A and B are shown apart, each in its own frame.
Chain A
Amino acid sequence: KAGVTQTPRYLIKTRGQQVTLSCSPISGHRSVSWYQQTPGQGLQFLFEYFSETQRNKGNFPGRFSGRQFSNSRSEMNVSTLELGDSALYLCASSAARGTGNEKLFFGSGTQLSVL
């Protein structure tokens, strides 16, 4: 079974631009969540989708948005990029809806650099 696939792997943008990142979950997984990882900060939760509905949202500005499609693939968008948005963006999928005993499967991430 293929793992979680994130594209692109690397991305370089300039301030003010917008970016769209893509995530294909493991086949059969309906829950997708997104995280921002910066050195020393751990993983900061962005949002979580289940069956095309956003279930939870982290403490990030409205410039960060996402969606999930009927095939469970998900995209996240960051508009008006700032230097501080430079980070590794990770996507994770799970079979459960996050009722506690879920196991998250992570993709390798998209490394975003904002110049």
Chain B
Amino acid sequence: GQSLEQPSEVTAVEGAIVQINCTYQTSGFYGLSWYQQHDGGAPTFLSYNALDGLEETGRFSSFLSRSDSYGYLLLQELQMKDSASYFCAVRSGGGSYIPTFGRGTSLIVHP
């Protein structure tokens, strides 16, 4: 089956850079997505990587290495409002094509 591993919690200070890693085991991999969810809120899409390399969107960047089944989300110039849970997710094949999410990483940004 499919599985994703990401750290349960990461802490950092305002203005810093933080990296949230995600490793996956899937069959028929199509791409890796990242979502942000604030407490009590809806998950919101951050980025998607289908090919190896870095995708940059403002302060957020996402990286994928298909050969290593590994990706990460990089958050720069951290702000207090970045305190949230971050989920990596894959769409995989193997006939079922079911979206699988990691358990989420709680990012705590300190002043």
**Chain A interface (Cβ within 8 Å of chain B)?**
4, 33, 35, 40-45, 48, 55-56, 58, 90, 92, 98-109
Contacts and interface: CB of A to CB of B under 8 A. Distances in A.
Given A43-B87, A100-B30, 12 more contacts: A35-B101, A45-B99, A45-B100, A48-B98, A48-B99, A58-B98, A92-B43, A101-B50, A103-B48, A104-B43, A105-B45, A107-B42
B50 A41 contact: no
A8 B65 CA distance: 41
Q: Which bracket fits the contact residues of B?
A: 20 to 34
Given A42-B87, A98-B91, A109-B42, A33 B48 contact: no
Given A106-B44, A107-B42, A101 B31 contact: yes
A104 B99 CA distance: 11
Nearest to B88: A42
B103 A106 contact: no
B98 A56 contact: yes
A81 to B, nearest CB: 23
Nearest to B100: A45
Given A33-B99, A42-B103, A99 B30 contact: yes
Interface in B1-56: 8, 30-31, 33, 35, 41-45, 48, 50
